[in-house]
Structure 1
């Protein structure tokens, strides 16, 4: 009986605390990104109910260096955050909030750690709200080895 109460308490606190610990958690619609898009280089364009979103970064993104993720929206979106993950590898929490730029451009100042295995492949989970619904677009990111001998 004690284990049941303890288990329910842990489950309840996890369910109750999750939105406060992870503001991007919860129900959201996953958006399809076009085949072959990457955050760096050309970026990614996503269509949503006739609204166009462009998600991009600088042409090259070296590990351990600051860069801005840019979200350009042709409509009233509310950017929430971007989280970077490395598929199949625990790289810790890499979550950054968006700040409003000018004319529908939002910036998320970001930096990514160096993976000790030498991997450079990441995924940017860009989360935003539009017309009361939460959305997420997952965009591939490929870091560049720096010229400093990485």
Structure 2
């Protein structure tokens, strides 16, 4: 083995070790921080288009409402209200939009706290090249010690 090949092998080995050690931390950072995840289950029949949908756990309740219509490439409002003992400790609320079994890219929108205690923001969805419009809004709520998530399915207009 030449000296250059040996150095390249050592560099690749160190890079592999670094990825193995730091990848879980990077993943936790991308997922919104530390703390256990509590999944809140909403009514599966509820659709948050122009109507309020809720999900609750023992210490946090989430109510979400999207705009009356949601179309690709047109901004629409996202409104979230929180209730329960954990609501006072919330540090951030994000709206993530995903399409099941289809990678549509990273669609994260941070919501801003309002004086009335609600969280508001705007979101924008891309056009699906396969013509699909079945989306899921995954709300992520972060407190100092716990992450909460609730999923709300809906159909966007085409």
- Normalised by the size of structure 1, how large is the TM-score? 0.82
Q: State the Cα distance separating 1:6 from its structure 2 match.
A: 4.0
User: What is the deviation of 1:28?
Assistant: 1.1
Give the C-alpha shift of residue 79 in structure 1: 3.1
Structure 1 SS opposite 2:101: coil
Cα deviation, 1:99-125, whole Å, max 9, x if unaligned, reads 112312101211000101110011111
Q: 1:86 to 1:25 in 2, by over 3 A?
A: farther
> Between Structure 1 and Structure 2, which shows a larger proportion of helix residues?
2
Q: What SS class does the counterpart of residue 16 from structure 1 fall into?
A: helix
SS where residue 55 of structure 2 aligns?
strand
Among residues 94, 98, 108, which one is paired with 1:85 in the alignment? 98
Alpha-carbon RMSD across the aligned residues, in angstroms, is 2.2
* Greater C-alpha Rg: 2
Residue aligned with 2:131, SS: coil
Aligned partner of 2:58 in structure 1 is 49
Do 2:93 and 2:119's aligned partners in 1 also have CA atoms closer than 8 Å?
A: no
Bigger shift: residues 130-139 or 116-125: 130-139
For residues 51 and 6 of structure 1, the distance between their equivalents in structure 2, rounded to whole angstroms, comes to: 41
- Aligned to 2:148, what secondary structure does the other structure show? strand
Name whichever of 44-53 and 79-88 sits farther off. Answer: 44-53
Number of equivalences: 144
Deviation, 1:68, is: 1.6
Structure 1 unaligned residues grouped into runs of 5+: 146-150
TM-score, normalisation: structure 2: 0.78
Q: Is the 8 A contact 2:113 2:120 kept in 1?
A: yes
1:126 corresponds to which residue? 139
Correspondent of 1:10 among 6, 19, 24 = 19
SS of equivalent to 2:127? coil
Q: Which runs of 5+ in 2 are unaligned?
A: 1-8
